[in-house]
Each structure stands twice: as C-alpha cells, then as structure tokens.
Amino acid sequence: MTAEIQQTRRTFLKGSVLPVFGTMLCGDMILAAPEDEKPQPDVLSSIERNVPLMRRSEWTVVAPRLDRMRKAGRFHRLTIHHSGSTKAVHTIKNAVIHDLDGVLTSHRQRRYGDIGYHFIIDYAGRVWEGRSHAFQGAHVLGENEGNLAVMLLGNFDKQKPSEQQLASMYKTIHALRKQYVIPSKNVYGHRDLGASACPGKHVYSHILKLRKIASV
Ligand SMILES: [Zn+2]
C-alpha cells in the first residue's frame, strides 16, 4: 500500500462541528494513481434484499475523483455517523437528495474525492449508496483504513431516529458484518475513534447494544 503512495495530504477540520453537516469529517488522503473501480462485491445486493437501497445514480451524477481516494483493503470494522447540526426528518425523496447533495458538496469542498460515507440512511429508512466500496471511506481522521462508513441523516443528540431508520441501520450493519466478517466488537460510533459527539446519544446507545451481540 505505501509503495503506491505518491503524496499524502490530509484534509481535516480541527475537531469542530460543521455548520450544516456537523460530523467531524476526516478526509481523504490524496495518493494513488487513478484506477478503474473494481466490480462491487455482492454486498449491495445483500443489502438490497433486506432494505430499500437507492443506487448512487439515483441521487447524483457527480463522478468521484479517483485520484483523491485510496483503494480499499479488507474491511474489518464499521463506524456509524450522523449528519449532525440540524434535525432531519425528511421522508420525501427529493428532500433527501438535497441533503445528500449538501454532504457531497461539503466533502468535495474539502478536497475529498467523493462523499466520505459508503452508505447513508434517511428518516424513511431508505439506504443510499454513497462512496464505492472499492475505496476507503473518508470519515474518521486517521482511522479510515479498513473502516466502512454508515451515516444516518439527522442529529441524534436532538432527535431520535425513526423506527424505519433504525431498522435499516440494524439490517445494513448485519449485512455488512456478514459480508466482510466483521465482529460485533468492531462496530463503532464515531465518538469511539475520534473527538466527536457523533453519532449522537440516541444512536450511540444502539451501537453499545450491538457490541453485545455475539460475534460472527
Ligand atoms: Zn461522524
């Protein structure tokens, strides 16, 4: 991996909360030469069997900057985030797409190659495909290696997730853990890995429950 690295430039915010999408975002390293995206493992169809999955093409036409992303190794952990800042209770598709655009724009302004998260879950329980699994996420400063990123739209210090959103979170985590053989102890909230309140107390309590589930 290191042999591929031509240049490393970390883009990050100093521990603060973003004004609009408030997770502590932790950037893409800019490195390897561009390469074609690998075919996706059947993780997407595995998720799709259990929850409504919206493919990337359904919400954006913005192409990822492959030269700014690092090829993924084996995923061995998974981190849950929230978008933070404001509450989000949208169930209408276009309103959610507007939110997703906001996250993507914010990440691209920070010179990330793409939206930092692999999956985003909205208040209606839809799961939106984000960054390709061919690449590392950009979501926890210094902890992106082998770390899948799942983000829930909303601020879960200020609101509770809807039943549908929570159910989709559990199903998505289950599918990802099964696909990548991730033990339950390796399911984190952002706050476990960095100085952040993310994903908020009303989601973090579920992460703590998940950790008690017997490992695969
Ligand atoms: Zn976060």
How far is ligand 1, taken at its centre, from the CA of residue 16, in Å?
11
**Residue type at 180 in one-letter notation:** Y
Angstrom CA distances, 66 to 33, 52, 118, 142, stand at: 8, 27, 15, 19
- Token output for 86: 């404001």
Task: Collect all residues with Cβ–Cβ distance below 8 Å to 115 and sequence separation of at least 6.
Answer: 100, 103, 104, 107, 130, 131
What's the rounded Cα separation, in Å, for the pair 169 and 166?
A: 5
pLDDT per residue as tens digits for the range 124-153: 999 999 999 999 999 999 999 999 999 999
How far is ligand 1, taken at its centre, from the CA of residue 150, in Å?
9
Residue 7 scores a pLDDT above 80:
no
Helical residues (DSSP H) of the chain, grouped into ranges: 43-48, 93-109, 163-180, 190-193, 201-211
How far is ligand 1, taken at its centre, from the CA of residue 165, in Å?
17
How far is ligand 1, taken at its centre, from the CA of residue 59, in Å?
21
| pLDDT number for residue 214 | 53
- Helix, strand, or coil (residue 68): helix
In DSSP notation, 143-203 reads: --TTEEEEEESS-TTTSPPPHHHHHHHHHHHHHHHHHHT--GGGEEEHHHHSS--TT-HHH
Domains and CATH numbers, the chain: 34-211 (3.40.80.10)
| Beta-carbon count within 10 A of 1 CB | 10
Mean pLDDT of the chain: 84
Q: Which residues of 67-97 are buried (b: 16+ CB within 10 A; e: fewer)?
A: ebbbbbeebebbbbbbbbbeebebeeeebbb
**Residue type at 23 in one-letter notation:** T
| pLDDT number for residue 34 | 39
Confidence of residue 43 (pLDDT cuts 50, 70, 90): confident
Residue 13 scores a pLDDT above 90:
no
What's the rounded Cα separation, in Å, for the pair 98 and 146?
A: 29
How far is ligand 1, taken at its centre, from the CA of residue 138, in Å?
10
Which of 2-16, 152-166, 200-214 shows the lowest per-residue confidence on average (mean pLDDT)?
2-16
How far is ligand 1, taken at its centre, from the CA of residue 45, in Å?
26
How far is ligand 1, taken at its centre, from the CA of residue 81, in Å?
4
pLDDT per residue as tens digits for the range 82-126: 999 888 888 999 999 999 999 999 999 999 999 999 999 999 999
How far is ligand 1, taken at its centre, from the CA of residue 43, in Å?
22
Residue in 14, 154, 152 with CA at minimum distance from that of residue 84? 154
Residue 164 scores a pLDDT above 70:
yes
